Amino acid sequence: MAQHENLPGLEEVRFHRDEDLGGLEIRLARYKRFAFDNHWHDCYSIGAALDGGSLCMRNQDNTVVRAGQLALINPGQVHAGVPERERGITYLMFYVEPEVMRRLAAQVAGRDLGYPEFHRVIVSDPRLFEAMGAL
């Protein structure tokens, strides 16, 4: 998994964009006090909670992502980012452009299926979590 010990402060962000990978954006962040109110992105957001936890969906269930879990957010899906009070959250987030995700899904399926859609926001899958961190 990503070395998040390199983030010394309570509020720390490292951001990288790779044009060779279709404009893939990667964020390694730690937040203790800073919170994102409801918002959305034009791209897919695929995150791995490395430490702590965060409210990520303000809904009837108040969906929370915790360390070791993945958050899968579709383009246009309204979500928030409110760190747990005691521990905050440290996470790795990949932002993938819709056309890139569509091409990747077509490669896996062997044909164009259109834009994929995540049906679960929170996924607990240790193997997938580790694979994402190895990227």
Q: DSSP letters along 15-45, please?
A: EEEEGGGTTEEEEEEEESS--EEEE--SSEE
Give the pLDDT of residue 8. 54
Is residue 133's pLDDT more than 70?
Answer: yes
Gyration radius (Cα) of the chain, Å: 15
Helix (H, G, I), strand (E, B) or coil at 100: helix
CB atoms within 10 A of CB 55: 19
Give the pLDDT of residue 42. 97
Of the pLDDT bands very low, low, confident and very high (cuts 50, 70, 90), residue 9 is: low
Residues paired with 15 in a beta bridge: 27
- Predicted confidence (pLDDT) per residue in 14-51, tens digit: 999 988 888 889 999 999 888 888 899 999 999 999 99
Q: What is the DSSP letter of 63?
A: E
- Please give the model's pTM, rounded to 2 decimal places: 0.86
- Predicted confidence (pLDDT) per residue in 42-97, tens digit: 999 999 999 999 988 766 677 889 999 999 999 999 998 989 888 899 999 999 99
Please calculate the CA angle 8-12-15 and round it to the nearest 5 degrees. Answer: 120
Domains of the chain: 7-134 (2.60.120.10)
Higher per-residue pLDDT: 11 or 104: 104
Give the pLDDT of residue 3. 47
Please calculate the CA angle 102-107-41 and round it to the nearest 5 degrees. Answer: 20
Of the pLDDT bands very low, low, confident and very high (cuts 50, 70, 90), residue 1 is: very low
For residues 122 and 56, what is the distance between their CA atoms, to the nearest angstrom? 9
Instruction: Count Cα atoms within 13 angstroms, Cβ side, for 63.
Output: 18
